[in-house]
């Protein structure tokens, strides 16, 4: 029995011209007008009239052009919805200071910065603060098991799958915080791409109150995987043994780009959506498809900072998974 099928069954129970005109001139010609004086007067009259007509024509044409331009401009503006404007704003990279970046939501687009060290931050979590309020009753249990003093909140930068820089967030055990920050700093410097990094709490659903807390944790993990979300702390049971806590429950495990790096059972089935089946054959790994391979830059970087890799396990393989051993 696979966790994914169990969790998704639970979820099934709970869970878009203007008219241009010019004036013509009419004149009677007399014998008097044939004199030089008359001819001169008549010529002046024609010139004046002609100039007046040309000026009127140019003015009318200019007015028509301006009117057409304004109409097109208004049409383009009217064609944009509030949602379109919001999307344009969301997709426009910002250039915040490190302090301002901390206040922005995770996954905010950021302009390249000359110095990025200050954007990699470790923070404590205090009861009642913004992070605590997001995790309490979700990834953080209400009935004990772990305290806020045992975990740390990290803000980082990462490259997304389009090669753009985004803010990211993750919670890990306090003893793993420094090494975790160093790992993501090195991945960023290498421009390694991570699909997204938000707390797993974004995938908890208030419609799951009938589930026991640990079951809710595993359900949220399943949804997080489906969104290819990189995460760590989540008070839940192990994927391969529902009778014991996962290392994620203590913030001592990280799952990186889980869709492309699934949990694969010995029979070739996966713990995740069907899309994960495209990544069971690890010989298909390339520099562009985000599949983690033995001995590659990602595995080496994590191991250099005290982590072991689930791809080294005997039997089942968990290619997304890195355990902190210190």
Question: 177-189 and 297-304 helices cross at what angle (nearest 10)?
Answer: 150
Alpha helices in 142-277 (DSSP H): 177-189, 213-226
The confidence score (pLDDT) of residue 259 equals: 97
DSSP helix/strand/coil, 142: coil
The confidence score (pLDDT) of residue 286 equals: 87
The confidence score (pLDDT) of residue 240 equals: 75
138 Cβ neighbours under 8 A, 6+ residues apart: 200, 201, 204, 216, 220
The confidence score (pLDDT) of residue 301 equals: 98
Q: Residue 166 corresponds to which tokens in the numbers above? A: 């985004």
- Taking the C-alpha atoms of residue 191 and residue 185, their distance in angstroms, rounded to an integer, is 10
* Mean pLDDT computed over every residue of the chain: 80
The confidence score (pLDDT) of residue 143 equals: 84
Query: Are 159 and 165 spatial neighbours (Cβ–Cβ below 8 Å)?
Result: yes
First to last CA, the chain: 33
Query: Are 190 and 272 spatial neighbours (Cβ–Cβ below 8 Å)?
Result: no
The confidence score (pLDDT) of residue 84 equals: 55
Report pLDDT digits (tens) over 232-257. 999 998 877 778 999 999 999 999 99
Question: 3-14 and 213-226 helices cross at what angle (nearest 10)?
Answer: 100
Per-residue pLDDT band for 226 (boundaries 50, 70, 90) equals very high
Region 36-64: mean pLDDT is: 44
Per-residue pLDDT band for 198 (boundaries 50, 70, 90) equals very high
DSSP 105: P
Q: Does the pLDDT of residue 76 top 50, yes or no?
A: no
Choose between 11 and 120: higher pLDDT: 120
pTM (2 d.p.): 0.74
- Taking the C-alpha atoms of residue 171 and residue 177, their distance in angstroms, rounded to an integer, is 8
The confidence score (pLDDT) of residue 90 equals: 61
Report pLDDT digits (tens) over 114-134. 999 999 999 999 999 999 999
φ and ψ at 305, to 5 degrees? -115, 25
């Amino acid at each position: 029995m696979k966790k994914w099928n169990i969790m998704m069954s639970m979820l099934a129970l709970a869970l878009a011209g203007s008219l241009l005109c010019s004036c013509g001139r009419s004149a009677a010609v007399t014998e008097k007008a044939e004199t030089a004086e008359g001819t001169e007067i008549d010529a002046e009259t024609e010139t004046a009239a002609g100039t007046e007509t040309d000026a009127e024509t140019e003015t009318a044409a200019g007015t028509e052009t301006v009117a057409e331009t304004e109409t097109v401009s208004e049409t383009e503006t009217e064609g944009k919805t509030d949602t379109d404007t919001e999307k344009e704003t969301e997709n426009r990279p910002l250039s915040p200071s490190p302090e301002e970046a901390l206040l922005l939501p995770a996954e905010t687009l950021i302009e390249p910065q000359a110095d990025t060290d200050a954007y990699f931050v470790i923070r404590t979590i205090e009861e009642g603060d913004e992070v605590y309020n997001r995790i309490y009753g979700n990834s953080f249990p209400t009935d004990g098991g772990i305290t806020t003093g045992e975990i740390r909140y990290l803000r980082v930068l990462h490259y997304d799958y389009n090669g753009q820089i985004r803010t990211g967030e993750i919670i890990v055990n306090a003893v793993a915080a420094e090494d975790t920050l160093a790992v993501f700093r090195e991945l960023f410097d290498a421009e390694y791409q991570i699909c997204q990094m938000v707390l797993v709490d974004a995938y908890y659903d208030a419609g799951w109150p009938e589930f026991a807390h640990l079951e809710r944790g595993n359900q949220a993990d399943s949804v997080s995987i489906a969104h290819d979300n990189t995460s760590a702390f989540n008070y839940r049971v192990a994927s391969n043994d529902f009778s014991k806590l996962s290392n994620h429950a203590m913030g001592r495990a990280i799952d990186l780009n889980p869709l492309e790096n699934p949990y694969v059972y010995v029979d070739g089935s996966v713990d995740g959506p069907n899309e994960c089946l495209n990544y069971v054959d690890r010989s298909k790994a390339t520099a562009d498809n985000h599949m983690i391979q033995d001995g590659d830059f990602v595995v080496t970087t994590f191991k250099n900072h005290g982590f072991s890799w689930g791809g080294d396990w005997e039997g089942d393989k968990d290619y997304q998974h890195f355990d902190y051993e210190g």
